[in-house]
A and B are shown apart, each in its own frame.
Chain A
Amino acid sequence: MSANVNEDAQPLDEDVLTALVVAVHGVSDVFPPALSLAQVSYMLTAVVTGDPERLDRVHVSSAGGTTTVAVRLGTSIDAATPNTAKQVADVLLAQIPDGLDATVTVQVSRIA
């Protein structure tokens, strides 16, 4: 894998990724992965606007040449959670451009 490949790769769009995750059967909620400093602006906007979708999304971050795609889910009690989580991971993996050093983290925090 080379730096040139990463530079040529299309950036991962959080809104697009979130829409794909929400469409997976068994996903009932998408929560922010964790509250970090980077999310404070999202949080403030959500509080002011009352729009939780500012927070509920897949997050993409990069550090040390590695991209991390992370999402925290709520799943439906009617669907098997391991299958739902795997399908979400597969959807996200499919969006990672060839050659991009990336990992996918999916955490299920609520089953209801």
Chain B
Amino acid sequence: MNDSEPRTLDCGKTVEELSDYLAAGRTPFDPRIETCPECLNALQGLTRVSQLFHSLIQQDVADLPAPRENWFQDIMTNIHREVRAGRSLPLPHPDNRVNLSLTEGAVLALIRTVGDTVPGMLIGTSHLEGNVEELGAPIDVSVAASILWNQPIPDAAHTLRALISNALTKHTALNITSINITIEDLHEDMANKDMEN
């Protein structure tokens, strides 16, 4: 996908439309967006990116390392990929008349949510590797993240791994065999994020 192609969710909305809706203060009220879980997951991710973007453009970045080219674009693309419903992750129930499931998109959005609570950390991409549609199948989780340039990477990675492990244990029935974290970017200070935390 190149930067000019619209990123369309399963519901038909594009990430660009959602970004415009967010910029307009979520008005006028659009029930198609506000009742769609994929749109709401995307809005949550876009809000986080928007906060980061505004904190960066308000700073004098001359003395700080610049973000990698297309960094924001990559994150936007990943939000689009992640919020799609994706695969269906089964949840157990003893009655065979019942079909319980959790969407892959909900889990990836959850990983982004908990990851963004780590001070200085911003989740780039996350993947569930393995047959998530089969209960008990071994699943590897891979996460790529960006971190504030002066934060200790081992500590942040350890905290992120623990938070993801706890969240997946609490909210899914996945058999997680590994959580692999890659720090692939350093970024500048994020005043807004520090204020949130």
Contact = CB atoms under 8 A, between A and B. Distances in A.
A74 B40 contact: yes
Given A77-B113, A109-B105, A111-B110, A31 B97 contact: no
Interface of B: 11, 29-32, 34-38, 40-41, 44, 85, 88, 91-93, 95, 97-103, 105-107, 109-110, 113, 167, 170-173
A86 B106 contact: no
Interface of A: 29, 31-32, 35, 43, 46-47, 50-52, 54-56, 72, 74-75, 77, 80-82, 85-86, 89, 93, 102-112
Contacts of B98: 89, 93, 103-106
Majority secondary structure of chain A interface residues (helix, strand, loop or mixed): mixed
A103 B95 CA distance: 10
B106 A111 contact: yes
A20 B135 CA distance: 28
A2 to B, nearest CB: 18
Contacts of B113: 77, 111-112
Given A81-B171, A109-B85, A93 B97 contact: yes
Contacts of B102: 81, 85, 107-108
B141 to A, nearest CB: 15
A50 B31 contact: yes
B103 A108 contact: yes
Contacts of B97: 93, 102-104
Contacts of A106: 98-101
A22 to B, nearest CB: 14
A80 B93 contact: no
A56 B172 CA distance: 24
